[in-house]
Amino acid sequence: MVASPQPCGASPRHCSRHSLFPPPSVAPSPRGSDHGFSPPPPSARRWRITSNKLGTGSFSDGVFSASGGGVEVAVKVVSSMVRGAPNIVNEAEILKRLGPHRNIVAMYAHGYARSIIEGCGGLLSRLPWSYPARVPLDAYCVVLEKVSGGELYDRIARAGRPRPREEAEARRIFGGIAAAVSHCHAHGIAHLDLKLENILLTEEVGATLID
């Protein structure tokens, strides 16, 4: 997703490596009841990564399963050494700007690993690091709602030739995608990477837009 670019007051030559990232923020944004789906917001202010990668991305080190406050979440980890480091900050700010919507992944927090991830340690200069044991202190993390229904891409690949009874499901999924995109456009946001891999499925709402 992209929004209108904001001017930067600092000259690039005066920016340190860490100036790519803003101060850490813990700003839960659970789905609102006005959208018909309201899970309890996590009470945690720090999360512990509990498993290996859930997925990978072009601009991140990976997405990992984590827990905190009795809630299972997904944590996207990005190092300042990854070429997409500024992108993750932009993504977090856009999710905050969009607010809760039943067809858009919810963001619970974002900031440096040392501020919001338990059991982290080491520096990015000491490569390679190992997950989930030691998330780098200066990695930037975005804590997201964990959507466990899988990608729409995999759902279509498994389905093979469509059957008549799947028409209702297709309508529900497409309706969720349209609602998510409409919400983005209403807030001046354009999703420039709308593809099957960026649409996750759920029993409750049909489709959830990510990235």
Q: Give the span between the Cα atoms of 56 and 159, in whole angstroms.
A: 24
- The rounded radius of gyration (Å) of the Cα atoms in the chain is 18
Q: Give the span between the Cα atoms of 31 and 105, in whole angstroms.
A: 9
| Residue 119 near residue 174 (C-beta atoms within 8 A) | no
| Residue 89 near residue 77 (C-beta atoms within 8 A) | no
What band does 162 get if pLDDT is binned at 50, 70 and 90? low
The DSSP 8-state label assigned to residue 73 in this structure reads: E
3-state secondary structure of 110: strand
% of the chain beyond a pLDDT of 90 = 28
Instruction: Name which residue leads in pLDDT, 48 or 186.
Output: 186
Instruction: Name which residue leads in pLDDT, 42 or 110.
Output: 110
| Residue 118 near residue 46 (C-beta atoms within 8 A) | yes
Q: How far is CA 127 from CA 105, 150, 156, in A?
A: 31, 31, 38
Q: Give the span between the Cα atoms of 143 and 117, in whole angstroms.
A: 10
Q: Is 167 exposed, middle or buried (0-12, 13-18, 19+ CB in 10 A)?
A: exposed
Task: With 0.95 as the threshold, say if the pTM is over it.
Answer: no
Q: Give the span between the Cα atoms of 147 and 138, in whole angstroms.
A: 26
Q: Give the span between the Cα atoms of 53 and 76, in whole angstroms.
A: 10
Q: State which of 60-69, 73-82, 105-114, 132-141 shows the largest mean pLDDT.
A: 105-114
Q: Which of 38, 37, 41 is nearest to 28 (CA)?
A: 41
**Chain centroid to CA 134:** 20
> How confident is the model over 37-63, as a mean pLDDT?
70
Q: Give the span between the Cα atoms of 94 and 187, in whole angstroms.
A: 9
% of the chain beyond a pLDDT of 70 = 67
Q: Give the span between the Cα atoms of 139 and 129, in whole angstroms.
A: 11
Instruction: Name which residue leads in pLDDT, 119 or 211.
Output: 211
Angle at 29 between CA 37 and CA 62, to 5 degrees: 100
